[in-house]
Structure 1
Amino acid sequence: MNLQDMPSPAPSHIELPLPAFAPGEPFKEPAADGFILGGFTWRHASHDSARPVVIINAATSVRCRHYARFADYLHVNGFDVITYDYRGIGESRPASMKGLRASWSDWGTLDFEAMLKRAQHEFPGQPIDVVAHSFGGCAAGLGASGPVIRRLVTVGAQFAYWRDYAPAHRWRMLGKWHLVMPLLTMLYGYFPGKRLGWLEDTPAGVVRDWSTPTARYEKRPSGRDLHVKTFAAVKAQVLAISISDDPYGTIPAIERLLGYFTHSRKTHLRIAPEDIDQTDVGHFAFFRSAYQATLWPIALSWLQSGELAPGTPGRLVPRS
């Protein structure tokens, strides 16, 4: 289905230009197990129960600072915004990574859940939306408070099943992330990704989850005690954005994760770089300020109205 075939959505707020970048206010928030998480808040001076607050879930081992300009963009356009780092990453990194108990499921059931709780007590009565990158889309389905999420925008969201990787890159990615990464983790007690230029240093439990070759999240090491009911409890309006040159976010990978959100209204938008006059975008570039005029308004429109604006680039992936 082409976007030209879609009915026009309800009018949304006008996008405002982005002024000089304003950094967020740092905070510390304990998770339910006492682990202290760090992050940043962009808040408006006065409380408004009609103003949504957006939580941004990062990709695996990507610092929340990567999303700061996008967070500021949302703030300028009328949202309160929370960014944070999962335990072991960035603002939530302990003194030593060795022995740190942290898995993908901890990042969702404890860390993201802590942000949902924070949003509710820091911004009482306000709607809660989520923007989630890569594994952050999976984390969005793991919080016990997931039913409070009103709208969810995911970008390249999947949980790294190797057969879903783009065929042209599959064997190289399999060797890098499913062989070399776990071997180095065994040697160091954590994955020393920063010194290699492969994302941030990463807890061993996260590496075990990532590198396990199974198509079902609940069969990952930390997912075996989970019930997928938390995904089903999310009733948000979901927009899944995928980029055609993203070797992680292929259509099968995106659809595999979307299948867990059984009670959400889901829209999958597939964008090719040429749709926005680019030669490449890939897995990480969406949140760079270079795409403020082309890609960011897509997420903004969905958060404002739950619809895609007329003329949105890309095509809709048919729902099965």
Structure 2
Amino acid sequence: MNLNDASSLTPATQPSQNTSFRAPAADGYPLGGFTWRHIRSDPTRPVVIINAATSVRCRHYSRFADYLFANGFDVITYDYRGIGESRRGSLRGFKASWSDWGRLDFEAILQRAQREFPGQPIDVVGHSFGGCAAGLGASGAVIRRLVTVGAQFAYWRDYAASGRWRMVGKWHVVMPLVTALFGYFPGKRLGWLEDTPAGVVRDWSAPTPSYETRPSGRALGELPFARLTAQVLAISITDDPFGTVPAIERLLSYFASSERTHLRIAPDDIGETQVGHFAFFRSEYEDRLWPIALAWLKHGALTPGTPGRRMTARV
């Protein structure tokens, strides 16, 4: 199994305690997802929203959501428009972008969490683009704690040097060319992620370093990242070719009003030879990686003995 490759992803089995939901995005588009809710309400119990990576179905995070639920959290997972539970027919000509996924979709789920779990603290876990999406919701000031995993802007110069040109060819040449041919990216057919809207592909493959310079980005002064005052933990893995130190810290620099911690973990820190970009949320890491995120969500701090190295972020 290639743990650096999206083609190795398989949806996790849905645990029995979740229920599906349908909710409108900020512009009315119907989003689908799942909620893990404890029977007894508790205003001190946090609710965690899980933001998926680009074109990874929310079902991939079900085992991790089940783990958080078992450790005392309520949890919401959802798919961005055009993906998984939030797909409606053909993606040919379908309009969606990274900005839509954050500004409209995540924002709607953030508001839903406030309605469905009134008074409860709200935390977010964001994988890859999901960490960027966490900074695009207009209501982001309500987020108490944020854990990101491999979160970055897919800027090609930040890719790991050893595989940079192969990644550029795959994600910045082949993917946009195939998208131009089909009107969307047929990822499932190729074994590369889920089928992906053309606008998202344009954002991903743009050769620019920052979010605001992507096709659907907005001026830096208009972005809501700085509204977050959440305690932010950015987890990166040393063999993640997307999540290099410059890539992680480029995104961290956007959370200018937050307390930020960057934890960099090598596979051998947890007795592995490889982990990569996609494997953190697989159930085999329940005892070795998931407790790091759990401790941050519970206490806003790393526990003694946490594997990895705490970086001095250049942000």
Question: Which category describes the TM-score, using the shorter chain as reference length?
Answer: over 0.9
Cα RMSD (Å): 1.1
Aligned: 1:188 with 2:182: yes
How far is 1:226 from its partner? 6.2
For the residue of structure 2 that corresponds to 1:183, the secondary structure is helix
Q: Secondary structure at the match of 2:77?
A: strand
> 1:300 aligns to what?
294
One of 176, 179, 196 as aligned partner of 2:173? 179
Q: Secondary structure at the match of 1:169?
A: helix
1:87-146: per-residue Cα shift (whole Å, max 9, x none)? 010000111111211000000000000110000000000000000000000000000000
TM-score under structure 2 length normalisation? 0.94
Match of 1:155 among 149, 156, 170: 149
For the residue of structure 1 that corresponds to 2:45, the secondary structure is coil
Secondary structure of the residue aligned to 2:32 is strand
- C-alpha deviation, 1:21, in angstroms: 4.1
* Structure 2: unaligned runs, 5 residues or longer: 1-13
1:50 aligned partner: 44
Q: Secondary structure at the match of 2:55?
A: coil
Aligned residue in 2 for 1:146:
140
Q: How do residues 1-320 of structure 1 correspond to structure 2 at under 5 angstroms?
A: 21-224=15-218, 227-320=221-314
CA distances 1:3-54 after superposition (whole Å, capped 9, x unpaired): xxxxxxxxxxxxxxxxx94352100010121100000000000111000000
User: 1:91 corresponds to which letter in structure 2?
Assistant: E
Q: Unaligned 5+ residue runs, structure 1?
A: 1-19
Deviation at 1:224, TM superposition (A): 3.4
- Tell me, in whole angstroms, the C-alpha distance in 2 between the residues paired with 1:49 and 1:315: 34
Task: Please give the TM-score of this superposition, normalised by the length of structure 1.
Answer: 0.92
2:219 and 2:176 map into 1 onto residues whose CA distance is 22
Q: Give 1:227 deviation, angstroms.
A: 3.8
Write out per-residue CA displacement over residues 159-203 of structure 1, whole angstroms, 9 at most, x where no aligned residue: 100000000110000000000000011110000000000000000
Task: Give yes or no for contact 1:135–1:157 (8 Å, CA) kept in 2.
Answer: yes
Could you list the runs of 4 or more consecutive aligned residues of structure 1 that deviate by over 6 angstroms after TM superposition? none
Could you tell me the percent identity over the aligned residues?
Answer: 74
Q: Across the two proteins, how many residue pairs are aligned to each other?
A: 301
Residue type at the aligned position of 2:295: S
